[in-house]
Structure 1
Amino acid sequence: MSLGWAAMAALLLPLGLVPLGVEPRWIAGLGDSWEAAHLASRSLSIAQAISAYAVLQAMVFIIVFLVTCIPVIRRWVTPRSVRRSRVRRAAMQQFLAHGLHTTEHRTGVLIFAALSDHQVEVIADAGIHDRVDRDIWAQAVDVLTERLRSGDAAEGFEAAIKIVGEVLALHFPPRANDINELPNRLVEL
């Protein structure tokens, strides 16, 4: 994302200087105070102007790239839909990577928080997702998000896990021969 913003700025911002009369002398070493009035020197002036423009583009590119590498600014300039899509994809990859889809009754649930993107996802396998109203998953997301905002991540995860646990207990109550098919643990990436 930073590369895209830097490239766009490098292409567009120097264009704003054209009406102001970009001159090579604006950049040290590319122009001097002496000008030749002969027609043969015209190609030299054009080359100096193009060089000045290229140097401006490079400077703008580097500055914008470095600024957009700052996490807060990168989050601010990245569209919410892009962040949401990335987090959703990462959550789904973790869901599959940790084998949450391999339970006997397809009841695996992942609560995923991307701290750098300020996004939370709850992924539930088909066995439980089909039986539960979407508002329950939204409630777990809202509780976790609210606690993350206030700086209490542990309490937020506990509250979200409680909501999910109650839903699982309601639709899939413990049986005599039940075994815990998945480890219940927090994974930090």
Structure 2
Amino acid sequence: MLFSQADRARIAAAIADAESRTAGEIVVIVSTAPQRYPATALSIAVLAALVLPLIAVLLGWSPAVLFADWGDTSATGRALRQIEAFVAVQTLVFGFALALVQFGGLARRLTPHGLRRDRVHRDATLQFKARGLEATAGRTGILIYVDEPEHVAEIIADEGIFTRVAPDDWADTITALTDGIKAGRAADGMVEAIARAGAVLAQHVPVMAGDINELPDGLIEI
């Protein structure tokens, strides 16, 4: 668990403090659920099932290993059994490789980093929409999203902020957040990141008369 109850209270207070100086609505979500990559596992399993039995045959493997009465059958029977043996080995290799890659933690390691980042971005975008960040009055929602297992953090801003703040302006926010997590001070990094995001928002999207808090300030953990 990254955050204690005291940490959550600190983060909620940091959000409220940052929002007191801006019309922006800050939402913080931390995902601790590990990503699954079934497409990678299936691809590796299929490749292993196609290649490994073929290599075994080229190295001299014989279906006679599986059939004790191999030499007692006709040439036609041996050919049929050879096909059956090859398919059986392919099936076994596929099942073993699929289980090893999917449940042995290899799927994540074998998935390219860019694809893993795309998965995190997709999840962040879904959360952005699901949490109502694009439904604020001034389109001023901003999501600070952290995928803890993937060690990826990103910021998604709604139209009212995106058109005023350059993407590079969030670099210090992301750096403070990731540095804190790497150093084992996730709560400190999050509080610092929220403060820096609040400073950026206060500069470009200052608080307006009659502004109300449209979204909850507490940390959301999924």
Question: Cα RMSD (Å) of the superposition?
Answer: 2.1
For 2:77, the equivalent position in structure 1 comes to 44
Give 2:35's aligned residue.
Answer: none
State TM-score, norm by structure 2: 0.74
| Match among 165, 183, 203 for residue 150 of structure 1 | 183
The amino acid across from 1:24 in the alignment is P
Query: Which position in structure 2 is the counterpart of 1:6?
Result: 45
Q: Secondary structure at the match of 1:35?
A: helix
- 1:37-63 residue CA offsets vs partner (Å, 9 max, x unmatched): xxx611221222222212221222122
Match of 1:180 among 207, 213, 220: 213
SS of aligned partner of 1:174: coil
Greater radius of gyration (CA): 1
Q: Structure 1 length normalisation: TM-score?
A: 0.85
Structure 1 residue ranges, 4+ long, deviating more than 3 angstroms after superposition: none
Q: Matched residue pairs, number? A: 183
CA distance in structure 1 between the aligned counterparts of 2:207 and 2:196, rounded to whole angstroms: 16
* Aligned counterparts of 2:51 and 2:70: Cα–Cα separation in 1: 30
Could you tell me which residue of structure 2 aligns to residue 22 of structure 1?
Answer: 61
- Counterpart residue number, 1:32: 68
Taking only the aligned residue pairs, the percentage that are identical comes to: 41
CA distance in 1, matches of 2:78, 2:153: 56
Please show how residues 101-180 of structure 1 align to structure 2 within 5 Å. Answer: 101-180=134-213
Q: What are structure 2's unaligned runs of at least 5 residues?
A: 1-38
**Structure number with higher relative contact order (C-alpha < 8 Å, ≥ 6 residues apart):** 2
Deviation at 1:80, TM superposition (A): 1.5
